[in-house]
Structures are given as C-alpha cells and as structure tokens.
Structure 1
Amino acid sequence: MKRTTLSLIAGTAALAAVTGFAAVSKPDASGTHSAEAAAQLPVERTSLLCPAPSLSDIAETSYTSFTPVTKGTDGGGKAELQSATEESTQAPGGSKDGKGDKNGKKKAPKSLVTPKTPGTPATGDSSGSDTPALVGTAEGKFAPGWTVQETTEIAAGTGRGLQGVNCTAPDTEFWFPGASTDAARTDYVHLTNPDDGPAVVDIELYGKDGAIKSTVGEGITVQPHSSEPVLLSTLAAARETNLTVHVSVRSGRVGAAVQALDDKLGGDWLAASADPAGDLVLPGIPKDATSVRLIAFTPGDADADLKVRLASPDGQITPAGNETLHVKSGMTTAVDLGDVTRGEAGSLILSPSGRSVPVVAALRVVRGKGANQETAFIPATAPVGTRATSADNSAKGTTLSLTAPTGAAKVKVTASAGSEGGQPVSKTYTIKSGTTQNIDAPVPSGLKGTYALTVEPLDGGPVYAARTLSATENGVPGFTIQTLPDDRGTVAVPQADQDLSILQR
C-alpha cells in the first residue's frame, strides 16, 4: 500500500476521533471541487479539573454542574465529577486504595455530582479541609459547554468570605498576575494532574524587579491522578506584594489555579489570565468596589505602553491620574486605581498606546471597609464568542455584567431551570458600544435551588462578561467573581471532498 493511501486513511480516522463522524462524499461529476465553510459540530468529550477547595476545617463547599442544551447532540452520554485520586480502571490483584472486590476489580468511584439531563443544574457539597481536588469528564450530550462551579464559604480565619472558581480544562501553560508573597498573604498554586503518567511542571515568579531566582520551582513532579498545592512563599525568600506566576508544563498536562488568602482582606481564587495580547478586557468590576488594583506583566523582550480606559454605563472614560501604564519587560507592574468605578458598573480596557506588545493582567478588587473587607480577582479574559455559561446563581445574590468595548451588541441571556425546580426564561439585551451594563438578569419562573445563566451574542461587536456572587456572613460582604469566556462547546470541522487521484500519486 502506498504511503499516500495510508495518509488518507489516517486523516479520515483522526477526523472521526474528533467529531465522532466522518463522511466521504461522491465526487462532483464535472471533476471540480468546491470549498465549503467548516461546520461547527458539538464536542463529544470535555474534561474539567477542580482544585481542592480549602485547608479550613470550617469550609463549606458546593459544586454545581450544568450543560446547556445543544442542537446536534444525540441522546447518550454522562457527566461525572470524582476525586482526582480515584481511577476508574481495573487494578489487577486489588485496588491500591483498598476499594476493590475479591476478584481484584476496582469498584467504580462515586461521582460527587451526577447530572440527569442537559438544561438542569446538578449540585453536590462537601465540608471541612479534607475535600480533594476533583477530575470531571462529560461525554455525549453532556459535553458541549459543560460548566462546573466550585464555591466555598469560610466564616472566619485567613481567607474568610466567599471563594469561587470555574473548574478548568487541563493545559500546559498558565499566567497569574496578581499573586503575592506579602506577609499578610498565603498564596498557593494548585496543580492537578488528571492523566495516567506524571506531569513535570516549572513555576516561575516575577516581581517588580524581574525574575525571582529560585531552583525550588523547577521540575516539580505531579504524580498521576493527584493534586499538589505549592505554597508560593516556599519558592523564594523575597517578599513581594505583587507577583506574576508563570506555570509551564514540560511533560504531561495539568489544571492550575492560585488560591490567594489574606489575613484581613479575605480571599478568593485567582484564575489564569487570557493568553498574552496587546488588547485586554477585564470585565465586571462591582459598582461598590472600594479599592481596585491593576497588575500587569509582559513576558516578551519589549516594554509595553498601554492606554487605560474604564467602560462605564455611559461610555469609556479615563481614570484620573492613570491614563496610561508603562509595563517594563519581564517585570510585574501594579497600580492602585482606588474606587475607580465611583458607584457605577465598570470594566477595564487596556490597549496599546503605540506598538502592540503582548501583556497579561488581572485586577484585585476589594469591597467593604475596615474589618469588613473582602477580596476577589478579575483576570483578563477572552470574549464570550458563541456562548458562555455561569453556574450556581441565586435569585438575589447574582450580578451579571456585560461589556461591548468596540461596538454595540445584542445579547440573549437564558436562565436555566432550577436545580430543584423552575422553568427556564430568556431575555434579550442591547449593550451600547464602549459601555458596561449590570443587567437585570432573568430568573427561572418558580425557581427552586440554584440556576445557570447562558450568554449568547446575537449581533454586533464582541461581548465580554463576568458574574459576581455575593453573600453576607457575620456582617462581612463576601463575594467572588468569575469571567465568562466562550465555553468551547463546538469544534470547527472542515468540509472535504473525495479525491481518488491521490491513490495514483
């Protein structure tokens, strides 16, 4: 068999593996071939990783799983969320965790959350400090747009307040501007390996003067089906108030997130910034924020000069005294913007004032005053794209923020059925160009339990979104913010015609 024939078979098999469907069409009678646009088909498998939620004995954690209804999916599939240390394979001679039967077959691990149908959230919960990191897998009709939210309430102690994070897909590189090794902070980078082989990871720290020399963060091995919380202060002796953390994977893949805990200002999860880019959007600053700090870093060899704008409900404005930001190459730059929103919804927009240089960035946001302050983080994020979803919403504690930085946009927002009852409701909104709107998001009729919000741009320019959850505990205004990038529920599959002439080459 010729090498070209093997290549054709291999290519067709690879396409089938991605989409679950491959077709070879009859060639056109005229012998001509017309190129067609790539088809958007639902993904058939999605993996998500949730970090271990807390080291506090009084932590209360809830998990919410949701898959939006997607056209083109079949009737099969399932979604499971299990401890990272549990494996679903058989273990000859017995299970290493002792959960095997007399024949040595490993029992199927129990899923913390078991969704029954797309369009309805499923919830689970845990308590205390021994909740492990979780590995999630969704297949079939549960895979497209699968979202899992991890939310933790801690009543007292370091990091007290509300902490939330979207469980994320494994990857090989992450940037976290906004971390710290300050004396008042206890920051961990959580690394979770979902695979059967070990992952080898490097953690680099960059402060105000550049890279912080350390060999401790090099070549960290994360064992298969395990999670490692790495305390940042153990990687370098220097105390840095504002750090950028770079996680790069030499072999394998991991999920990564930074848990930032403050002695007095509460704490939250710091999700990875969007990939380095010249233009960045950081959406959803609460209107009652009392302090906002911008942290930026450029990984390239050139300095970056950025214009700083705030997209308010009335349009873009320039923060007084912070019209521009100069970011030196390889050095973390931070600037305090104060109460930049001045009682109105806002999003920060960064754009090059000259040559475009890739940058990563995040905001540290503080609400409250005195002893009743709480912290959350907003990383730069990608636009909503085709669709984005936010799980674990309540009728009173949810704020949805939408930003259209470059052009007006029409957006459809759907509130799902409730986890314990209620019917979905949809509304359409128009976001004016250059503005941020905290919209009056729909709530399911007859709501019982929590619900999901799905955002779908219908027309106009790109839309950026963020969701804020709020809950007051003992007078402390706990809150957490998650951005809403595209849920990657579909994949582009190119159309192809049969070309039998390749067999003769």
Structure 2
Amino acid sequence: MKQRAPLTLAAVTAALAALTGIASLTAPDPGAKPADGKTAAAAARMPVERSLLVCPAPSSSDIADTTYTAFTPAAAKASGDGKGVARLLGATKDAKPVLESKEPGKPVGATATGAEAPALTGSAEGALAPGWTAQLTTKVSVGRARGVLGTACTAPGTDFWFPAVSTAKGREDFVHLVNPDDAAATVDIKLFGPDGLAKSDAGVGESIRVDPKSSRTVSLATLVPGIQLADATAHVTTRAGRVGATVQVAEEGVGADWLPASTDPAGSLVLPGIPADATSVRLVAFVPGEQDADLKLRLAAPGGAISPAGNEQLHVKAGMTATADLADVTRGEPGSLLLTPADPKKTAPVVAAVRVVRGTGAKQELGFVPAAGPVGTRATLADNRPEENTTLLSLTAPGADAKVKVTASPGTGGGEPASKEVTVKAGTTQTVALAPAGGKGAYALTVETLSGGPVHAARTLSLPHEGIAMFTVQAFSDDHSTVSVPGATQDLSVLTR
C-alpha cells in the first residue's frame, strides 16, 4: 500500500485559495440584488421546533377530579418532515407519561383523581411545537378547598409577580414551584403589603432549593409568621435555574382557584374577562419601581368604556400594595378592567390582578383575573366544554378597533371544527360562545388577530355544582409559535480568513 505524502501548510493554503476562487465565480455577490431587482430578503419568521411547559400538582384533596388537555393548532407548521410529538410527564426523574399528542389540530386529554396527581413537565417537538398549549382543570365538590381550579401550564421562567395573594386568617396561599431541568434551581420569595416589604425572619423565603426535575410547594404564611396581610403581592425570582410558578388559593367559606402571574410590569394594563354576574371585584395593584403610580380605572363593557363610580382613580405608592373594592362593577354585563396612567406624561410600571367572587352566602365561589398581555398573532387555550353556557370567550380591544378569527377545535371525543370572525370596537368587551359541531369532550379555542389594534382575551369556564356557580377564568397569551431567523448569504471568503 502506498503512503500518501503529507500535505504542507502551503499546499493546503493553495488548495483553499483555488477552491475559493472557483466558488467566487458562482456564489452570489453578498451586496448584489436578486435577479428580479428586489431587495434581498429580510429576516424570516420560522416555526419554533421545541416548546416546554410545566404544570403544578393539581390538588391536595382526596376527592379532587382533574382533567388535563393539550393541543397544537392545526394551522401550525414546522420545519423538517412535518412530524412531531408532544408529551406531558410527571415532574420526577422516573417520570411516566400522562398524555401524548401525535397530530396537530386534535386535542388529547387525560384524567386523574385524588391528592396523588403529580406536577408535570412536558415538551413538544417538530410539528407539535408551534403553539402547543396545555391546561389542567380540577373540581373539588366539598371541603375547605371546594371549587373549580383551572390554570394553563406555563413556560418556565425566572421572575414572577403575584398581586392579590394573602396571609390573612381563613386564606391558604401556596406557591407551587416546578423545576423541569437537570440542575437544581434556587428561588427567593418576597411579600409586599400595604406598608411595603413584609419583614420576615433572617433567611426565610430566601434560597429555596427546588431539586432537579421535581416540584416544591411553599406556604406564603410561613414566610411572615404572625403577620396577616389581607392583600399582598408576592415576587418570585430565581438565583439559579428556572421554574414554573403559580399560586394556589383556598379561602374558607368562599372557594378556591389558581392565581397565575400578572403580565410583566407596564404603565397600562388590561385585566380581561370579569364575569357578568360577579358579586365582588377587588383590584390589587403594585408598583415594583421607585415612582408612585396614579391609575385611571375604566371598565370595558359591551357598550363602551365606563369609569366605576367612586373608583375612577387609584394611587399606588412605590413598593406598596394598593387595593380598590369595585363591588359588583360589571352590573350584569361582562367586562374587562383597563388601567392607564391618570397623567400620560407620568407613567410607572405596574402589576395587578382582581379577586372575583360569584354568588353570595354559602353559595360563593372564588376566581382570579390577573393582568394579561394581548393575544398577538395567535393564542390558544385548551379545555373548553361544549355544554351550553359552560364556555364563554371575552375579547377586549383597549385602544383601537380590531378584527379577530376565533376557531374551536374538535373535541377530545370528536366533532368538526368551527370558526367565526369577530369585530371588537375600541374600548369594548365582546363575548363569544363557540363550540365544535357535534363536539364531544374538551376542545381548544384559538384566537388570531386579523387586523386593527391589540386584542386581549380570556375564557370563563363554568361548572356549577349544587347551586354554587363554580368557575375559573384563564387569559390567552401569545403562543410565540414563530421566531425571527435572519437572512443569510454565502461568504466563502471565511475559508481564507
């Protein structure tokens, strides 16, 4: 066998130079326009190839009944061969699948009972990734935590604000933390009441460890022993790693539900989907920065925006939690609360949520509506029910007229999708009841912005029980199903640099 002569550096350089010279004759000029004379393509929007979600453990009640629903919109497309898979697993190292999706456009569901149902982590890849969403809904018929508790599973993060928490007598608020990663996460939790930061014993609430691929539950009352805060704001941050964070609330004699995080601090906020028959609406707001906020309050109702009598404005001191009791502000019409600076020249970022009660006396039920961002290009929410008067979609256009397309997917047990276009006038909230034709089981609702200003949306799911108007409200969030991919041109000169 002959041995090949080793290549010298000079020979390699010469070969590369020759290759580059040939390539330069055929490669396009990076600065040249395409043959059609148009400007070179800008960055393109491409479907995401992987999505990650986490879901808290649903309940500590032995009589809890939980439904999980997951869905990817049928219009979603992904690069590659068009195949994909989405799977929700128990948030443990020896995790077992709870449900699995294999095809966009068809929701899948699973159920669990009792207090042993675990927190979940899940991922979707390929064609199942763009717009993948999941929801858990739990019904507890009796007991201290009775009610309907619903929450959308969320992407893990590092910073969360929870206005409307409490450590008062009769309230039990727990922060559920889920770590989907292979490394431990370290979490800090701070509470801010009407007088500012609530003092706690040294180290309490700091450096809370959440083991890899596990979950942890923290009672807010244990962070400030002996301090009863009727209305407070919790701030959850990570020193290391990332987590999913949601607050579970149980209020004695009233009900229970999940309190999701408010959208990021902003000068103007929309709290969408306050039920028409709300008997009590309490706004809780907090300013994270150093400048006070003076907010103008308006309710976007079907006929236009109105100011609540006696609560036209709210002053929020920096670093302190402020409240406004809006009573039965909706007065029989569904609406969304709009918070804007009283003086447009003086703005301060704010977070906010409202505690909503339906019913009276022993027939009360509790829910929360945090501030939410717009639906953006597209947003989807799973686990809607086809029974009459069970699912109601609220659409709010805070600043300009808008048109959206609403699509109801088939149910987990079948049915044909249905869709309609809806025009939402500026400053109003419009409601839509839409279900798949012949739908059976839980289905998903997708909202797409077609034209006009931003639209905010929320879904009220009502599951009455023995005369109690049990319900839960979830806001829609932009599914961020695409990412910007910069345009690229060939540049073989890098071979000789």
Q: TM-score, normalised by structure 2?
A: 0.90
1:394 corresponds to which letter in structure 2? Answer: R
CA deviation string 1:209-236 (max 9, x = no partner): 0001123100001011110110000000
Q: How does 1:364-443 map to 2 (within 5 A)?
A: 364-395=355-386, 396=388, 397-439=390-432, 441-443=433-435
CA deviation string 1:212-267 (max 9, x = no partner): 11231000010111101100000002100111000000000000000011111101
Among 169, 173, 183, the alignment partner of 1:187 is 173
CA contact (8 A) 2:75 2:105 kept: no
1:353 lines up with 2:346 in the alignment: no
1:212 lines up with 2:198 in the alignment: yes
Look up the match of 1:61: 66
1:27 lines up with 2:28 in the alignment: yes
Structure 1 stretch 31-40 or stretch 387-396: which is displaced more?
31-40
CA contact (8 A) 2:76 2:130 kept: no
1:233 alignment partner, SS class: helix
1:462 lines up with 2:469 in the alignment: no
Look up the match of 2:4: none
1:120 alignment partner, SS class: coil
The separation in 1 between residues aligned to 2:445 and 2:178, in whole angstroms, is 27
CA contact (8 A) 1:273 1:360 kept: yes
Among 296, 301, 317, the alignment partner of 2:306 is 317
Cα shift at 1:182:
0.7
Task: Label 1:453 to 1:502 Cα distance change in 2 as closer, same or farther (>3 A).
Answer: same
The separation in 1 between residues aligned to 2:183 and 2:337, in whole angstroms, is 41
CA contact (8 A) 2:194 2:322 kept: yes
Cα shift at 1:71:
4.5
The separation in 2 between residues aligned to 1:259 and 1:29, in whole angstroms, is 55
> What are structure 2's unaligned runs of at least 5 residues?
1-25
1:203 alignment partner, SS class: strand
Look up the match of 2:316: 327
> What are structure 1's unaligned runs of at least 5 residues?
1-24, 88-108
Among 92, 114, 117, the alignment partner of 2:100 is 114
Look up the match of 1:248: 237
Cα shift at 1:26:
4.5
1:78 corresponds to which letter in structure 2? Answer: V
Q: How does 1:57-136 map to 2 (within 5 A)?
A: 57-73=62-78, 74-87=81-94, 109-136=95-122
The separation in 1 between residues aligned to 2:27 and 2:242, in whole angstroms, is 41
The separation in 2 between residues aligned to 1:325 and 1:465, in whole angstroms, is 24
The separation in 2 between residues aligned to 1:132 and 1:58, in whole angstroms, is 15
1:77 corresponds to which letter in structure 2? Answer: G
Structure 1 stretch 112-121 or stretch 479-488: which is displaced more?
112-121
CA contact (8 A) 2:141 2:147 kept: yes
2:221 alignment partner, SS class: helix
CA contact (8 A) 1:402 1:465 kept: yes
Among 489, 493, 497, the alignment partner of 2:489 is 497
The separation in 2 between residues aligned to 1:361 and 1:371, in whole angstroms, is 28
Q: How does 1:165-314 map to 2 (within 5 A)?
A: 165-214=151-200, 215-237=203-225, 238-314=227-303
Cα shift at 1:37:
3.2
2:463 alignment partner, SS class: strand
Task: Label 1:342 to 1:26 Cα distance change in 2 as closer, same or farther (>3 A).
Answer: farther
Cα shift at 1:147:
0.7
The separation in 1 between residues aligned to 2:262 and 2:241, in whole angstroms, is 21
The separation in 2 between residues aligned to 1:435 and 1:466, in whole angstroms, is 14
Identity of aligned residues (%): 58
The separation in 2 between residues aligned to 1:502 and 1:324, in whole angstroms, is 61
1:46 lines up with 2:51 in the alignment: yes
1:343 lines up with 2:343 in the alignment: no
The separation in 2 between residues aligned to 1:30 and 1:37, in whole angstroms, is 13
CA contact (8 A) 2:281 2:327 kept: yes
CA contact (8 A) 1:42 1:70 kept: no
Look up the match of 1:16: none
CA contact (8 A) 1:70 1:141 kept: no
The separation in 2 between residues aligned to 1:163 and 1:296, in whole angstroms, is 23
Task: Label 1:312 to 1:29 Cα distance change in 2 as closer, same or farther (>3 A).
Answer: closer
2:435 alignment partner, SS class: coil
Cα shift at 1:36:
3.6
CA contact (8 A) 1:178 1:364 kept: yes
The separation in 1 between residues aligned to 2:496 and 2:298, in whole angstroms, is 60
1:165 corresponds to which letter in structure 2? Answer: T
Q: TM-score, normalised by structure 1?
A: 0.88
1:162 lines up with 2:148 in the alignment: yes
The separation in 2 between residues aligned to 1:201 and 1:232, in whole angstroms, is 14
Structure 1 stretch 469-478 or stretch 202-211: which is displaced more?
469-478
Aligned length, in residue pairs: 459
1:376 alignment partner, SS class: strand
The separation in 2 between residues aligned to 1:72 and 1:323, in whole angstroms, is 46
The separation in 2 between residues aligned to 1:393 and 1:233, in whole angstroms, is 34
1:487 corresponds to which letter in structure 2? Answer: D
The separation in 1 between residues aligned to 2:167 and 2:27, in whole angstroms, is 63
The separation in 2 between residues aligned to 1:29 and 1:199, in whole angstroms, is 45
CA contact (8 A) 1:45 1:140 kept: yes
